[in-house]
Amino acid sequence: MGRVYLVGAGPGDPDLITVKALKCIQQADVILYDRLVNKRLLKEAKPEATLVFCGKYPNCHVMNQTTIQQLLIKFAKQGKTVTRLKGGDPLVFGRGAEEAAVLAERGIPYEIIPGITSGIAAPAYGGIPVTHREKSSSFAVVTGHRSKDNRKEVDWRSLAHAVDTLIIYMGMAHLEDICEALIHHGKAADTPAAVIHAGTTDKQRTVTGTLHTMAEIAKREQVANPSIIVVGEVVRLREKFAWFPEQLSEEIEWITTSGGRV
């Protein structure tokens, strides 16, 4: 019997992977990797390792979850060392818990290797601390996308009041609805908000606004997935703490080069 490692590859910057996660890549006989894993990390694999792409795009899954789990079982039963490589952390909206449950049921040895999740890393690279002594003593991470078989709605009423900083994954398709829901349940319309696209990578872009304006700004700036949404007073700190060089939008570049004001 082989062993399966459920590994977090980090948020995008390959240098942010943990030492243990890198060892799992280097020692694996088989690597099943997701769409958001930086492909530079795959160069660390053994030349003879088998690489299997398990990418899931919005509304288009190259491989469904059942097939992925069957492959984990199949390769482990062949006595192979299997690394299941996921973007971010395997247990933060990564379905790692589902895969661990299947492996446990089949009696297959496995380990979970945590990774840096994008909900913390992307704001940090965007100059936004998720907590701050004066502005935020709590934060929550929540998914903005609900699976078809999950009828339970996100409790925006509680989230609007329970925490200082909200970090929303997979919410771009519902950004306008999310902002409206938070305002409807009592969050001030002028609460600062930010959207960070491709956080920690050379394609990172951060746009800021308020709950009232964020959806319109993101649409105008053509900010798409993968992106993290941040809501809370900590967003104001970006003006002081922004340190990571980002690509400017075409609109801002045009205004600057034409002599106008930004």
Dig out the tokens for 216 from the structure. Answer: 């319109």
Euclidean distance between CA atoms 229 and 131, whole angstroms: 15
Dig out the tokens for 208 from the structure. Answer: 């800021």
Hey, which residues does 172 pair with through a beta bridge?
none
Q: Which of 80, 170, 172, 214 is catalytic?
A: 170
Q: Which of 23, 56, 63, 164 is catalytic?
A: 56
63 included as an active-site residue: no
Burial class (CB in 10 A: 0-12, 13-18, 19+), 154: middle
Dig out the tokens for 235 from the structure. Answer: 């967003």
Phi, psi of 255 (to 5 degrees): -65, -40
80 included as an active-site residue: no
For residues 179 and 185, the answer to whether their CB atoms sit within 8 Å is: no
Dig out the tokens for 18 from the structure. Answer: 């943990």
Question: Which stretches does DSSP call E strand in 80-177?
Answer: 81-86, 110-113, 139-143, 165-169
Euclidean distance between CA atoms 164 and 161, whole angstroms: 8
Euclidean distance between CA atoms 16 and 48, whole angstroms: 25
Q: Which of 34, 80, 172, 214 is catalytic?
A: 34
56 included as an active-site residue: yes
Hey, which residues does 210 pair with through a beta bridge?
192
Residues involved in catalysis: 34, 56, 170
